[in-house]
Amino acid sequence: MIRVLVVDDSPTMRMIISRILESDPELTVAGQARNGKEAIALCRKLNPDIITMDIRMPEMDGYQAIQRIMSESPRPIVVLTTTQSDRELGTSFKAVEYGALMVLGKPGGLTTGTRAMEDLKAQVKAMAGVKVVGRRKRSAERPRMVEPIRTHARSDSEPITLIAMGASTGGPPALQMVLGMLPENLKVPVVVVQHISEGFVNGLARWLNETIRLEVTVAANGMLLKPGTVYIAPDNRHLAVGSEGRAWLKELPPVDGHRPSVTALFESVALHYGKKGAGVLLTGMGADGAAGLKAMRDAGSYTIAQDEETSIIFGMPGEAIKLGGASDVAPLKEIAGKLKSMVMN
């Protein structure tokens, strides 16, 4: 049985979240807290397996609580938020910098759609099994910038002209690390599909813009892909790339159960870029992107899967490796260096 601590200043929301979670026989709510101070105290007393954390609360907010918990008694934390400004401004993603594993939208109520409730339960169960490490408390005043990695050019492969990345559960911090280690003057565009709750993609782009050196934007239909810019797929549409170097958004059925789908993106790169494309499949539940990475490798693209040790969830990269889609398997910190070498060739 997975024991959950639910933290939210709203009694109604605590009740809704608790009922949804406890509708799964593998989940039980060990306790409820109204603010960050109560969360810290109950964390010590109850030793829960995982915490769902609100951000905006009286006395002590979620950011402060996450920092204290991750420095004193680290455990998996999933942030739940409904605040529209948080979604648009990306402020919720600051919780990831303090140690939270992911940010999800709160359920709208007990009448929330079945898929949304099942997704919340699935994410909580998946995150409960993640091994987390303690983090020192640090100031929130300045965003963290990762030092760009320096490598020597490789001479054994054709240079790439486009990088495509896919991620799901645990993806935002993984993307932040890989993208943050690429140079500001990167000579190719980067296209990204990140599975994320609806309404959060603009906030994700804004948060990345504030914490890495590359420019980050949400892709628009027909947008010309520029070097040194990261393009993230918007809600509910597949992101594809064309031979003319533009982004195309498609309202086609879900692929691998998702829209946007990593496989849909990777297959378009395989078709139009072949040996000049690079594909990166990062942490995530399920198998989306595995078949797409295999298509890229078959077309001659350079393909990387994140290794099991550094993946929060090894589902997507693990499936790609099983299919033979990864020409390289690497720890998270080494991926940027490999990409830079290919671009510099």
CA 126 vs. chain centroid, Å, equals 14
Q: Which residue of the set 119, 195, 197, 261 is catalytic?
A: 195
Phi-psi region of 76 (alpha: psi -120 to 50; beta: other; left: phi over 0): beta
Q: What residue type is assigned to position 290 of the chain?
A: A
Residue 29 contacts residue 16 (beta carbons within 8 Å): no
- Beta-sheet strands, E only, within 169-283: 190-194, 215-218, 229-232, 238-241, 247-250, 277-281
For tokens 């420019």, name the residue: 215
- Residue 168 among the catalytic residues: yes
| C-alpha span between 246 and 219 (Å, rounded) | 10
Alpha helices in the chain (DSSP H): 11-22, 36-46, 62-72, 84-89, 94-97, 114-128, 171-180, 201-211, 262-272, 290-298, 315-323, 332-344
Instruction: Tell me whether residue 152 is one of the annotated catalytic residues.
Output: no
**Count of residues for the chain?**
345
Q: How many CA atoms does the CB half-sphere of 143 hold within 13 Å?
A: 18
Neighbour count for residue 271 (Cβ, 10 Å) = 16
Enter the tokens of residue 335. Answer: 């991926």
Catalytic residue among 168, 268, 311, 341: 168
Q: Which residues contact 306 (CB under 8 A, 6 or more apart)?
A: 174, 280, 281, 282, 283, 317, 329, 330, 331, 332, 335
Q: What is d(CA 188, CA 227) in angstroms, rounded to the nearest whole number?
A: 4
Which bin fits 18, alpha (ψ -120 to 50), beta or left (φ > 0)?
alpha
Annotated catalytic residue, options 288, 307, 311, 341: 288
| CA–CA–CA angle 264, 267, 269 (5° rounding) | 115
Which residues are designated catalytic?
168, 195, 288
